[in-house]
């Protein structure tokens, strides 16, 4: 990080409160309008952002791991929230504080804006994959995202280093545990994943594309 970046980081984070979340705990946007909505930065751990659809399902919009300098948790609006996937710490920064600090650090501002644009594009691209397609396809896309963010290389593929029950996977794609159980079996039979010590190993990084190719409506 540059000296300018360190100065901006100190201005942003040193006075900001830190909050802890245990797996399954949720944090919500606290602003009453878009203009006073705070910014959230992930300090440690892993979280997912989501929103509730009109039919009551949870739609996962992003996955975040504390592995870079600026772990801004991007949320589209007041209806969004984020849930800890492992013990996590986040920082809440008032929008006015962030605006003033970043205005003094143009290089850092450019980095943060680039991060926001990338996350927006990623969330927009994944919404349909995780919400409107059939359960095996939605699950394959979710596992690919989890592998990208939290995968640990092994001889067989990427081990998803998170403890996620079938019920949690179902919640993350707006489905049910029985449907996810069936979908997991289908993905194993297709050679896309395998199970080892109750953990999922992603064998094929091209899994979502393969699943779509087998379904003419994709």
Q: Does the pLDDT of residue 54 top 50, yes or no?
A: yes
102 and 77 part of one domain: yes
- Torsion over CA: 148, 43, 4, 29 (sign): positive
| Band (213; pLDDT cuts 50, 70, 90) | low
Selection from 173, 202, 174, 172 nearest residue 190 by Cα: 202
Q: Domain for residue 17, yes or no? A: yes
28 and 87 part of one domain: yes
Half-sphere exposure of 99 (CA within 13 A, CB side): 7
Residue reference for tokens 């772990």? 71
| Secondary structure (H, E, C), 60-112 | EEEEEECCCCCCECCCCCCCCEEEEEEEEEEEEECHHHHHHHHHCCHHHHHHH
Q: Does the pLDDT of residue 205 top 60, yes or no?
A: yes
Q: What tens digit of pLDDT does each residue of 85-141 get?
A: 999 999 888 877 777 777 777 676 666 666 666 665 555 555 555 555 788 888 888
CA dihedral 207, 210, 211, 213 (to 10 degrees): 160
Give 69 or 139, the one with higher predicted confidence: 139
Q: How many domains does the chain have?
A: 2
Per DSSP, helices labelled H in the chain are 3-13, 95-103, 106-131, 135-150, 166-172, 177-189, 207-213
| Euclidean distance between CA atoms 76 and 190, whole angstroms | 35
39 and 115 part of one domain: yes
Q: Domain for residue 21, yes or no? A: yes
CATH number at residue 7: 2.60.120.10
125 and 152 part of one domain: no
Residue 99 has what pLDDT? 74
Q: Does the pLDDT of residue 69 top 50, yes or no?
A: yes
- Write the CB contacts of 25 (distance below 8 Å, at least 6 apart in sequence): 83, 84
pTM for this predicted structure: 0.74
112 and 154 part of one domain: no
Domain boundary among 131, 149, 182: 131
| Band (156; pLDDT cuts 50, 70, 90) | confident
Q: Does the pLDDT of residue 50 top 80, yes or no?
A: yes
119 and 169 part of one domain: no
CATH number at residue 170: 1.10.10.10
Q: Does the pLDDT of residue 217 top 50, yes or no?
A: no
Structural domain for 20, as ranges = 3-131
CA 75 centroid distance within chain:
10
Q: Domain for residue 121, yes or no? A: yes
With H, G, I as helix, E, B as strand and everything else as coil, classify residue 215: coil
65 and 46 part of one domain: yes
Share of the chain above pLDDT 70, in %: 69
146 and 195 part of one domain: yes
Domain boundary among 100, 131, 162: 131
Q: Domain for residue 218, yes or no? A: no
Q: Does the pLDDT of residue 20 top 90, yes or no?
A: yes
Phi-psi region of 174 (alpha: psi -120 to 50; beta: other; left: phi over 0): left
Q: What tens digit of pLDDT does each residue of 187-198 get?
A: 999 888 998 887
Domain boundary among 74, 107, 131: 131
| Euclidean distance between CA atoms 199 and 38, whole angstroms | 36
As a whole number, the mean pLDDT across the chain is: 78
């Amino acid at each position: 990080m540059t000296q300018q970046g360190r100065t901006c980081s100190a201005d942003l984070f040193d006075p900001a409160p830190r909050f802890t979340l245990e797996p399954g705990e949720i944090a919500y946007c606290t602003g009453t309008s878009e203009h006073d909505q705070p910014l959230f930065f992930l300090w440690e751990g892993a979280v997912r952002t989501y929103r509730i659809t009109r039919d009551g399902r949870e739609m996962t919009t992003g996955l975040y791991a504390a592995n870079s300098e600026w772990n801004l948790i991007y949320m589209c609006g007041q209806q969004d929230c984020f849930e800890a996937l492992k013990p996590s710490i986040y920082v809440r920064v008032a929008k006015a504080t962030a605006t003033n600090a970043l205005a003094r650090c143009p290089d850092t501002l450019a980095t943060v804006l680039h991060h926001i644009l990338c996350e927006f594009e990623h969330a927009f691209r994944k919404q349909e994959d995780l919400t409107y397609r059939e359960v095996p396809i939605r699950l394959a896309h979710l596992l690919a995202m989890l592998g990208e963010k939290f995968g640990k290389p092994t001889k067989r593929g990427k081990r998803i280093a998170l403890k996620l029950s079938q019920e949690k996977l179902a919640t993350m794609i707006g489905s049910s545990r029985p449907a996810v159980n069936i979908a997991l079996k289908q993905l194993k039979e297709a050679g896309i994943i395998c199970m080892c010590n109750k953990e999922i190993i992603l064998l094929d990084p091209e899994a979502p594309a393969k699943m779509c190719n087998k379904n003419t409506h994709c």
